[in-house]
Amino acid sequence: MTLPPTPGQTIGPFYGYALPYPGDSELVPVSDPDAIRLHGTVYDGAGNPVPDALLEIWQADRDGTVARAEGSLERDGWTFTGWGRAAVDGNGHYSFTTVLPGATEPGAAPFFAMTVFARGLLNRLFTRAYPPLDEAALAQDALLQSLPEDRRRTLVATADEQGYRFDVRLQGDDETVFLQFPGA
């Protein structure tokens, strides 16, 4: 007997305080000579900050190798696992301390894979944040090229004095492009 799938349930607002753990948003220590900051704000459809979202990132290491090491929930200060989690603050702002990812294959643009959990969402959302480092790689990236030109910029972070800023817009003007994965 096959049971019909049941709908998801609205996520949160418990994510903002129940899932964070010490070191969750520090994929590398701040003292790492290659440490950068990936940060931004999560906005709702009206342009207001979402105060109870949670974001996760997955990324390759500096050389483009996808990390397979365990230990994300108990950071040891030297093992790069390529995964982190950050709860937003009351103003919808998040921040990760990490390294710039390398390209996972020749000619590909490096990126941070990101998952967004927030109030009002029946399921998590998937997106990517591309650092604006290599214009040629961005111009050749298969995912970016599959999007209308005016939508591509919603996936490209901007460099600022603190590192790289990537705002997530859940709806409305400049809505972030979200991805679908079969079975996810």
Query: What is the residue extent of each domain of the chain?
Result: 15-169
- CATH class (in words) of the domain with range 15-169: mainly beta
C-alpha 10/C-alpha 119 separation (Å) is: 6
Q: In this predicted model, which residue has the larger pLDDT, 76 or 136?
A: 136
Provide the percentage of residues in the chain whose pLDDT is more than 70.
Answer: 92
In this structure, is the dihedral angle defined by the CA atoms of residues 152, 154, 155 and 156, taken in order, positive or negative? positive
Q: Can you give the pLDDT at residue 66?
A: 93
Q: Can you give the pLDDT at residue 184?
A: 61
For residues 38-48, average pLDDT: 96
The alpha helices in the chain, defined as continuous H runs, are 15-18, 135-140, 142-145, 149-152
pLDDT surpasses 70 at 137: yes
Token representation of residue 141? 């990236």
Q: Can you give the pLDDT at residue 122?
A: 76
Confirm if 176 and 40 have CB atoms less than 8 A apart.
no
Q: Can you give the pLDDT at residue 49?
A: 97
Confirm if 152 and 143 have CB atoms less than 8 A apart.
no
C-alpha 161/C-alpha 174 separation (Å) is: 23
- Listed residue (99, 96, 97) closest to 88, CA to CA: 96
